[in-house]
């Protein structure tokens, strides 16, 4: 067996970063990383990337079930790839050559029956099961930190369940297996001239199942922001049996079962497939990049847009520092990236009305560029100009992060939502609290920026990004230590100032402290009771979202000092 042996049928991924093993940065991207790193007083030197042979993994503690041996892998590469997700702390630990709690086995079931058999085997042998989609969790959702009460842990990777099984062109819906990555489902829907149009930043390496159980946020800045509203029905294999919901366009029949599956984060069972609402690809687009000298005037403009009923597909407000991080500005202005799309009608009237609101709030834009975006319908017009630059930087950002983490930089994000009446104070207070925490933990002034990723008539979803040098020694270890303090402070700040612990990154392990303050205790008891029915022996993703009855409590993964 070589270091690169894997049972995965996909192109090998970086276990220590984003993308495939052979991903590279172009010269311009390398220069950007160098500038960013040097701005924070971190010397820019080549650091060797982690190699599989540098990790000493313990032997699996349980034997694989003989009948399923063909889909059970214990190769070091597979175990490392399933050890953690893709948060800053996950990557930092890999750069430190520390695989905190590798799963004993990685299972790649070929079909739903194999999923059922694995759960039966796991229940009988007291083995914890961690459902795994694309592994892009940024909150500890796929980490095998389950405590000592289990005989072993299996990471259950759904990559072989990646097909579009059925398309209903009349109702515009598709039945899709949960393990399909974004590009895989997109490619299979294309011959039907249909698309899901749910594009999280992690689209390339995340799955339909992962999106549904984490309630992911896609590219639509208004209306169907979360995957929730695109889900028509779900099929969940639980240790207690299969939960199949009915396909309906809407229903008022009591609490909706799909709503319990959405956000369940692998704690109730394994989502094997879902019917989702699809649509024709957009033919008409319009976009504009708008500059504001006053950030709060820009925010008020976004509020007016979100309450206008125009429902722009894109309505991302970048504060001045965020424009620098995204490579679309120089830090002097806030920039609003505004876009409309439609498969049905030209968008001139929508854009014209939106620009009236923009002018009312003091925004400035290049009229010719807007006219050009309206003129290049159906093609790649939306990929040019500031909107295109923002989109490209947005998709490439995770690739830039990899070398920066290895150089001892902390680069992370946290996201939340707040009602408009409290937004301005919230923005100031969260920046002050987290900025102070960054200064305390690193001894440096904070580079902390914000963009509004999604907006609703009653409030925005602010998404904060920060970068800092970990400590004077520039080591990844000191950076990780500093990150723990900053992350705790961010978790506390968003809740203390009235926001949610997460708008779309899910709860996992890292956001549990906030979730437990945000959600009523009685509701958490109701959820725990539901889990006991679906998962009576408590084998499903222990430590994520809620404590498992009868098992160790308070497992926190990356936030624990020795993890």
Q: Could you list the residues that contact ligand FAD (CB under 6 A)?
A: 18, 85-86, 130-138, 141-142, 158, 178, 200-202, 206-207, 209-211, 213-214, 216-217, 265-266, 270-271, 398, 504-506, 541, 544
Nearer to ligand FAD, 355 or 540 (CB): 540
Nearer to ligand FAD, 303 or 511 (CB): 511
How far apart are CB 563 and ligand FAD at their closest, in Å?
17
In 3D, which of 83, 136, 134, 139 has the Cα closest to residue 106? 83
Q: CA 70, CA 247: separation in Å to the nearest integer?
A: 34
Lookup result for tokens 């030197």:
45
Whole-Å CA distances, 472 to 32, 43, 121, 281, 479 = 22, 11, 50, 51, 9
How far apart are CB 508 and ligand FAD at their closest, in Å?
6
Beta carbons of 201 and 176 less than 8 angstroms apart: no
Q: CB-based burial of residue 423 (10 Å sphere; 0-12 exposed, 13-18 middle, 19+ buried)?
A: buried
How far apart are CB 373 and ligand FAD at their closest, in Å?
23
In 3D, which of 437, 445, 441 has the Cα closest to residue 471? 441
- Helix axes of 295-306 and 348-360: crossing angle, nearest 10 degrees: 140
How far apart are CB 364 and ligand FAD at their closest, in Å?
28
Q: CA 144, CA 250: separation in Å to the nearest integer?
A: 37
Nearer to ligand FAD, 107 or 357 (CB): 107
Nearer to ligand FAD, 178 or 559 (CB): 178
Nearer to ligand FAD, 112 or 518 (CB): 112
E strand spans, 96-219:
105-107, 127-132, 152-157, 164-168, 173-177
Nearer to ligand FAD, 400 or 420 (CB): 400
Residue length of the chain: 563
How far apart are CB 66 and ligand FAD at their closest, in Å?
25
Lookup result for tokens 């009608």:
345
How far apart are CB 346 and ligand FAD at their closest, in Å?
29
How far apart are CB 342 and ligand FAD at their closest, in Å?
22
Nearer to ligand FAD, 119 or 194 (CB): 119
Nearer to ligand FAD, 316 or 431 (CB): 316
How far apart are CB 537 and ligand FAD at their closest, in Å?
17
Q: What is the DSSP letter of 268?
A: S
Beta carbons of 48 and 100 less than 8 angstroms apart: no
């Amino acid at each position: 067996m070589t270091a690169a042996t894997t049972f995965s049928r996909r192109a090998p991924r970086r276990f220590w970063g984003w993308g495939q093993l052979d991903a590279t940065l172009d010269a311009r991207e390398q220069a950007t990383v160098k500038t960013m790193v040097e701005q924070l007083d971190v010397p820019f030197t080549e650091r060797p990337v982690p190699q599989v042979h540098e990790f000493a993994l313990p032997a699996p503690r349980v034997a694989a079930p003989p009948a399923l041996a063909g889909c059970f892998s214990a190769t070091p590469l597979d175990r490392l790839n399933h050890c953690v997700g893709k948060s800053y702390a996950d990557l930092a630990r890999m750069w430190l050559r520390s695989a905190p709690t590798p799963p004993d086995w990685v299972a790649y079931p070929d079909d739903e029956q194999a999923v059922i058999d694995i759960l039966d085997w796991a229940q009988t042998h007291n083995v914890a099961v961690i459902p795994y989609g694309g592994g892009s969790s940024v909150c500890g959702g796929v980490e095998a930190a389950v405590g000592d009460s289990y005989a072993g842990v299996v990471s259950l990777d759904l990559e072989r369940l990646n097909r579009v099984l059925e398309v209903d062109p009349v109702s515009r819906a598709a039945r899709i297996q949960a393990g399909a990555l974004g590009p895989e489902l997109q490619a299979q829907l294309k011959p039907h001239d249909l698309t899901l149009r749910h594009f999280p930043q992690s689209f390339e390496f995340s799955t339909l199942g992962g999106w549904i159980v984490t309630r992911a946020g896609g590219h639509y800045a208004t209306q169907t922001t979360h995957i929730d509203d695109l889900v028509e029905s779900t099929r969940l294999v639980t240790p207690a049996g299969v939960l199949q919901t009915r396909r309906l366009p809407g229903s008022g029949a009591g609490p909706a079962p799909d709503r319990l599956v959405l956000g369940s984060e692998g704690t109730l069972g394994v989502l094997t497939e879902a019917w989702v609402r699809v649509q024709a690809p957009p033919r008409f687009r319009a976009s504009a990049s708008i500059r504001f000298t006053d950030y709060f005037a820009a925010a008020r403009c976004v509020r007016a847009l979100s309450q206008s009923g125009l429902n722009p597909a894109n309505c991302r407000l970048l504060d001045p520092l965020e424009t620098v991080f995204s490579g679309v500005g120089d830090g002097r202005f806030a920039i609003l990236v505004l876009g409309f799309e439609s498969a049905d009608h030209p968008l001139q009237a929508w854009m014209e009305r939106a620009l009236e609101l923009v002018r009312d709030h003091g925004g400035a834009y290049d009229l010719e560029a807007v006219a050009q975006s309206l003129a290049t319908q159906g093609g790649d017009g939306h990929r040019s100009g500031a909107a295109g630059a923002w989109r490209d930087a947005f998709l490439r950002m995770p690739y830039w992060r990899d070398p920066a983490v290895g150089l001892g930089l902390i680069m992370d994000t946290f996201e939340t939502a707040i009602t408009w009446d409290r937004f301005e104070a919230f923005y100031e207070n969260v920046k002050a609290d987290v900025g102070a925490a960054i200064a305390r933990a690193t001894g440096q002034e904070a580079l902390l920026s914000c963009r509004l990723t999604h907006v609703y008539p009653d409030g925005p979803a602010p998404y904060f990004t920060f970068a800092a040098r970990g400590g004077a020694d520039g080591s990844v270890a000191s950076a990780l230590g500093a990150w723990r303090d900053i992350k705790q402070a961010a978790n506390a700040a968003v809740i203390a100032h009235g926001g949610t612990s997460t708008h779309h990154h899910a709860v996992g392990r890292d956001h549990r402290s906030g979730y437990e303050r945000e959600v009523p205790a009685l509701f958490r008891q109701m959820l725990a009771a539901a889990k006991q029915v679906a998962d009576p022996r408590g084998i499903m993703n222990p430590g994520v979202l809620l404590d498992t009855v009868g098992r160790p409590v308070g497992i926190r993964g990356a936030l624990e000092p020795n993890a």
